Amino acid sequence: MMRPVTDNPTSCEIRALIWFLHGKNTSAVEIHYELCTIYSQNVVSEGTVRQWCRMFKDGQTNVHDEERGGRPSVVMVLFKVLT
Q: Does residue 6 lie within any of the structural domains?
A: no
Q: Does residue 38 lie within any of the structural domains?
A: yes
Alpha helix ranges (H) inside 24-73? 28-38, 46-57
What does the pLDDT look like over 5-30, one tens digit per residue? 667 788 889 999 999 999 999 999 99
Q: Does residue 83 lie within any of the structural domains?
A: no
Q: Does residue 57 lie within any of the structural domains?
A: yes
What does the pLDDT look like over 24-74, one tens digit per residue? 999 999 999 999 998 887 899 999 999 999 999 999 888 887 766 766 666
Q: Does residue 28 lie within any of the structural domains?
A: yes
Q: For the chain, what is the domain count?
A: 1
| CA quadruple 7, 10, 13, 19: dihedral sign | positive
**Which of 57, 61, 71 has the alpha carbon at shortest distance from 12?**
61
Q: Which domain holds residue 20?
A: 11-64
